[in-house]
Structure 1
Amino acid sequence: SAGVDAGIEPLRVVDGAMQDPSGPWEVAWYENLGSLGVPGNVVMAGHIDYWNVGPSVFYNLGSVQPGAEIVVAGDDGLQYPFTVEWTELFTSDDMPMDEITGPTATQSLTLITCGGAFDYVNGEYLSRTVVRATRSGPGIPVT
């Protein structure tokens, strides 16, 4: 398990670019891509690590295995369960963004963070870790 318990900040994809989460412990939800509780693809991203902080909110995302459960609490007071279908590392240049962030026929959750080798010259990771999960049950009231 990645062991993430974090707040979610609504951000957007602007001119094809995903806005970055504002800090090491924030998870970005791209509100113009999909919403909880309805069919489609809910896309979220978080930092793997952060300058002067170290490991951050999605540091362990790459270790999430198929079959793992992810629960996301919505603004509607319900918790939505998802089951991980796959975890994959894509190079930044070969990442099929339309497939990863585009609409899905069923309710999906897509989590994205940096991964792979770090390019110290340009100060960025060369790959992205992506986890895709599918809704696995009804929304349950938060107690």
Structure 2
Amino acid sequence: MVGSGLIGASLNGDTVRPPQPVARAGTGPATPAAEVGTGDVDREPAGLPRSAPTTISIPRIGVDADIMALGTNPDGSVQVPPLDQALLAGWYEPGPSPGEVGNAVIVGHVDSAAIGPAVFFSLGALQPGDIITVRRLDGRSADFRVDSVSSHSKNAFPTEQVYGPNDQPGLRVITCGGQFDEATGDYLDNVIVFASLVR
């Protein structure tokens, strides 16, 4: 499967650049929080049953957004929310839902020429230990602790780490980042947050 190489938007030249993670390409997820926590609530959480996510909340960067379901494009790449809905996040529906065993994937735009900063503009500012809460259609919330945040060239997208198997409930949140290419109107990298269910 092709990675999320198309997430991003044309950037208005006057818009402030989004923050970038400290970790650079080639750095995979850190030890999951479920393995380093202290206390029973942080140890190897059991997966939840499947349920579509409805909203994502990331207090550190002020995100509280609705989530739409997405699939794949004809070329195998992951769909992204339409640019006219750049304040929405998108869940990769063919994969696990947030809280299920496996890696749930949520994507979103970093900015758009029409509105400026979009839903995940500040994603690169997240740090290990930050909490991401995903509310689900079944009324439950799944809380994830950030393990690592890194930037990867779209030409070297870590497909296995994002979409590959995981015997614990994980979350991958993805947007664009790195250098902005004025010629193509797109960013050259993806910012990826790796997180693990904590309760």
State TM-score, norm by structure 2. Answer: 0.66
Say whether residues 1:11 and 2:70 are aligned partners: yes
Q: CA deviation at 1:91?
A: 0.8
Q: 2: distance between equivalents of 1:42 and 1:2?
A: 20
Structure 2 residue 158 is matched with structure 1 residue 106: no
- Higher relative contact order by CA 8 Å / sep ≥ 6: 1 or 2? 2
Structure 1 unaligned spans of 5+ = 138-143
Note the aligned Cα RMSD (angstroms).
1.1
User: Is it true that 1:118 corresponds to 2:118 in the alignment?
Assistant: no
How many equivalent pairs are there?
137
Paired position in structure 2 for 1:140: none
Give the CA deviation at 1:98.
Answer: 2.4
**Given residue 79 of structure 2, which amino acid in structure 1 is its aligned partner?**
Q
Give the alignment partner of residue 74 of structure 1, picking from 136, 148, 153: 136
CA distance in 2 between counterparts of 1:36 and 1:111 reads: 11
Taking only the aligned residue pairs, the percentage that are identical comes to 38
1:53 aligns with 2:115: yes
User: After the TM superposition, which of the residue ranges 61-70 and 19-28 deviates more from structure 2?
Assistant: 19-28
Deviations 1:14-43 (A, max 9, x none): 442010112211100001011133201110
One-letter code aligned to 2:173:
L
Which structure: larger Rg? 2
Runs of 4+ in 1 over 2 A off after TM superposition: 13-16
Question: Larger strand proportion, structure 1 or 2?
Answer: 1
The answer to whether 1:39 aligns with 2:101 is yes
> Structure 1: how far apart are the matches of 2:165 and 2:110?
25
